[in-house]
Amino acid sequence: MRGLGKYIRLSDQDDDCRPGEKAESNSVVNQRLLLDHFVANDPELAGCHALEFLDDGHTGTNFDRPGVQALFAAVRRGEIDCIIVKDLSRFGRDSLEVGEYLERVFPLLQVRFIAVNDGFDSRKKQYGTAGDLDIGVRNLINELYSRNVSVNVRTAKRQYAARGECIAAYPFYGYVKGAENRRQLEIDPPAADVVRTIFRLWLEGGSTADIAESLNARQVPSPSMRKRQLGVKRANWSKLREEVPWTASAIRIILQNERYTGKLISIRTMRKEIGKREQRTIPKDEWIVVPDAFEAIISEDDFHRAQTLFRTVPRTLATPVKKSNSQLLFSRKVFCGVCGLGLSRQKASRPYYRCNAPKGPLAERCKAIRISEEDLKAYVLEEIRNHATAVCVEEPADIAADASAIQDRITALEQKIEKHWSAKKDAFVKRNGGLISQAEFEHVSVERGRKIQQLRAELECLSHTAATTRPPVAQCPDKLADAAGAKELTREMMDGLIRSIHVFEDGRIKTVWNAPEGVGKMVQAPFGKGEAE
């Protein structure tokens, strides 16, 4: 025997399992003792190398569990040829899937399966007999039990909600669970003061962005930071940044949360299927709403006044706004040359684009990036004209082959540069999301930056060569020929010719043309930062 895999699972419905509160639940310890005792008393299994696979707090209605997936991976690698569980329900509660593994998968892989309390050992039964009445009924009972538990839990939650009791695992910002009654919400004074301040500033005319900036300037803990302060334990806390700032969207969520008036609003979502984590939204008229279920932070009058402002004040953009031709012209085309994020269009007497990158080592450089829409239009139109004219100049036909080979290499270099830029952008986002450390981000940034510089040097050389090795006029694409005499920049021209535009803090603009008709070029923009105002 190559190896033994002990599989242990505790259902997520078990109250003994709460993330962060225990290293392991009591049920896990008991299952381990049972399996160890069985192995120690079986002469054939006693000397085997054993591996343990654990799913503590995972439903058995599907096999999307880290422990069982690791078990299957070990089987595929040939490390395990025997699996032992407490009973069939620990392995799974979906009768069809469990039967598939017992009857087909494990026999095909020559894996022995033992369910101790069910007295099932595949070696003592002929392969294919797992579908016998005894095992089949056990699997069906396990599945029905799981479904019955789910129905009972759902019914109990509706009953609690109808009585005005909180059924959420964690209270929303501004409240804590009662010390004596965990289903009763009580006001969290520091957070409640912040909620009142947010509503007051909004009613006084402040924007969501201004309110967020004000709270960050005063170093007011955001909702997730407040949860940490209150000692809320979450399984994924270690993956998140400890200092999560306020954002305009967080302010909007608070301003539109009717529960601050004391209403308990429950059962707004439901799992699409038992055993699946995907949720579906419940129609609003089916929500359970209980007025005055707990102490209010905001009065009904102030809440409704705040919602009226969302509908009437243009600064909120509460309703969809049809984009102008100018907005559509550069949509998803203009990017920051420093961090790689898309530039944001700002409304003004002279609309302009700027980088709204969050705080970080690149923030100061990003702030310097600002270009007026008028200047950007003029620059891009001139670039398209020049590029179209250059590509469509008549040359001897024997140059076409060389030009094609050079262009293929240029395209490959551009794709490599784009790949390294994407890696830098991903690292930037992960660092701001707390998924990687500052040191890891800097390492990725330096390494990718070095490779980009090397590729750019080769690209510049080839671009110079391409300028003297143009394709003949017969190969000039129609859209380039039309663009050579264009008098106005259109979205169709942008989509047909330009992949992206990158603006740098020193005024440079990089135009990346759609392959194979163009060459990425780095040129100096015909304006300074001051003119972009």
Same domain, 361 and 493: yes
Kindly state the average pLDDT of the residues 20-30.
62
Short-list 240, 180, 187, 250, CA closest to 215: 250
Same domain, 68 and 145: yes
Whether residue 296 is predicted with pLDDT greater than 90 in this model: the reply is yes
Same domain, 303 and 202: yes
Same domain, 388 and 440: no
Q: Which of 321-335, 433-447, 464-478 has the lowest mean pLDDT?
A: 464-478
Kindly state the average pLDDT of the residues 189-216.
90
Residue 429, domain CATH: 1.10.287
Query: Which of 332 and 96 is assigned the larger pLDDT?
Result: 332
Quote the domain boundaries for residue 491: 322-392+476-533
Same domain, 124 and 41: yes
Q: Which of 267-276, 381-390, 487-496 has the lowest mean pLDDT?
A: 267-276
Query: Which of 406 and 393 is assigned the larger pLDDT?
Result: 406
Residue keyed to tokens 């085309």: 333
Residue 91, domain CATH: 3.40.50.1390
Given 99, 129, 156, the domain boundary residue is 156
In percent, the amount of the chain with pLDDT more than 70 equals 74
CA 413 to each of CA 158, 172, 423, 515, 521: distance values in angstroms, whole numbers, following the listed order: 59, 50, 15, 11, 12
Q: What is the mean pLDDT of the chain?
A: 77
Q: What's the structural domain count of the chain?
A: 4
Same domain, 136 and 227: no
169 within domain boundaries: no
Quick one: pLDDT band at residue 20, thresholds 50, 70, 90?
Answer: very low
Whether residue 295 is predicted with pLDDT greater than 60 in this model: the reply is yes
CB 115 within 8 Å of CB 88: yes
Whether residue 381 is predicted with pLDDT greater than 80 in this model: the reply is yes
348 within domain boundaries: yes
Same domain, 45 and 84: yes
Tokens found for residue 528: 């300074």
- According to the model, what pLDDT value does residue 112 have? 92
Quick one: pLDDT band at residue 448, thresholds 50, 70, 90?
Answer: confident
Quick one: pLDDT band at residue 493, thresholds 50, 70, 90?
Answer: confident
- Taking the CB of residue 321, how many other CB atoms lie within 10 A of it? 9
Same domain, 248 and 143: no
161 within domain boundaries: no
Q: Which of 215-229, 296-310, 395-409, 416-430 has the lowest mean pLDDT?
A: 395-409
CA distance 332 to 353: 12
Which backbone phi and psi does 160 adopt, to 5 degrees?
Answer: -60, -45
- According to the model, what pLDDT value does residue 432 have? 60
- According to the model, what pLDDT value does residue 302 have? 92
User: How far is C-alpha 380 from the chain's CA centre?
Assistant: 34
Short-list 487, 532, 296, 514, CA closest to 415: 514
Quick one: pLDDT band at residue 518, thresholds 50, 70, 90?
Answer: very low
Element containing residue 8 per DSSP (H, E): strand 4-10
Element containing residue 54 per DSSP (H, E): strand 50-56
Given 414, 437, 469, the domain boundary residue is 469
In percent, the amount of the chain with pLDDT more than 90 equals 15
Same domain, 306 and 228: yes
Dihedral, CA of residue 196, residue 198, residue 199 and residue 203, to nearest 10:
140
CA distance 483 to 481: 5
Same domain, 140 and 101: yes
Given 285, 316, 347, the domain boundary residue is 316
Kindly state the average pLDDT of the residues 473-480.
53
- According to the model, what pLDDT value does residue 176 have? 92
* Three-state SS at 384: helix
Quick one: pLDDT band at residue 319, thresholds 50, 70, 90?
Answer: very low
511 within domain boundaries: yes
Beta-carbon contacts of 502 under 8 Å, excluding residues fewer than 6 positions away, are: 335, 336, 337, 509, 510, 512
Kindly state the average pLDDT of the residues 425-449.
75
165 within domain boundaries: no
Q: Which of 69-73, 157-161, 499-503 has the lowest mean pLDDT?
A: 157-161
Most confident of 180-189, 279-288, 523-532: 180-189
CA distance 85 to 75: 15
Whether residue 298 is predicted with pLDDT greater than 90 in this model: the reply is yes
What pTM was computed for the model?
Answer: 0.41
- According to the model, what pLDDT value does residue 392 have? 64
Burial 58-94 (b: 16+ CB within 10 A, else e): bbbbbbebebbebbbebbeeeebbbbbbbbbbbbbbb
Residue 197, domain CATH: 3.90.1750
164 within domain boundaries: no
CB 87 within 8 Å of CB 41: no
Query: Which of 505 and 434 is assigned the larger pLDDT?
Result: 505
Query: pLDDT tens, 32-45?
Result: 999 999 999 998 89
Same domain, 481 and 369: yes
Query: pLDDT tens, 80-91?
Result: 999 999 988 888
CB 139 within 8 Å of CB 95: yes
Whether residue 26 is predicted with pLDDT greater than 70 in this model: the reply is no
521 within domain boundaries: yes
Most confident of 136-140, 246-250, 272-276: 246-250
Return the DSSP state at 26: H
Same domain, 309 and 342: no
Q: What is the 3-state secondary structure (H, E, C) of 184-244?
A: CEEECHHHHHHHHHHHHHHHCCCCHHHHHHHHHHCCCCCHHHHHHHCCCCCCCHHHCCCCC
- According to the model, what pLDDT value does residue 18 have? 45
Query: pLDDT tens, 129-176?
Result: 544 545 555 555 556 565 666 666 777 777 878 888 888 878 899 999
CB 213 within 8 Å of CB 222: no
Which backbone phi and psi does 481 adopt, to 5 degrees?
Answer: -60, -40
Quick one: pLDDT band at residue 97, thresholds 50, 70, 90?
Answer: confident
Quick one: pLDDT band at residue 325, thresholds 50, 70, 90?
Answer: low
Short-list 146, 359, 345, 351, CA closest to 245: 359
Tokens found for residue 269: 């979502």
Whether residue 73 is predicted with pLDDT greater than 50 in this model: the reply is yes
- According to the model, what pLDDT value does residue 472 have? 44
